[in-house]
Amino acid sequence: MPIGYPITKAGLDNLMGGLIVSVRDSLNACVSFKALLDDTSILPDSVLTALTYGGSSSTGEIQQIRNSFTSMSLLNTVSRGGSTVPSLVDFWFDAKHLGGTNFH
């Protein structure tokens, strides 16, 4: 008798669909968060520095945060055919730092 979850068409359909929807929803959330970061009347550098993030919008942690969400927003645009991939771009370059040491 086998153990674990049985492999079925319905199970695979649900898994595949769920993974795709999760990627879409995560990219949409990154785009929304980027809009929040870009609205300096809501989230200016002074709020981020008060939360002990270092640097400014041109250097340090704050820039890395902004760059991360700019890259994810561009990845979202590219994934929807709204832009082409810039040559040799690593969309995850800055975002890797936000993902922690185990992020690959």
pLDDT in tens, 5-16: 889 999 999 999
Q: What is the pLDDT of residues 38-97, one digit of tens each?
A: 999 999 999 999 999 988 777 789 999 999 999 999 999 999 999 898 788 888 888 888
Hey, which residues does 56 pair with through a beta bridge?
A: 59
pTM listed for this prediction: 0.84
How far apart are alpha carbons 19 and 4 in whole angstroms?
A: 20
What are the helix and strand counts (H, E) for the chain?
4, 0
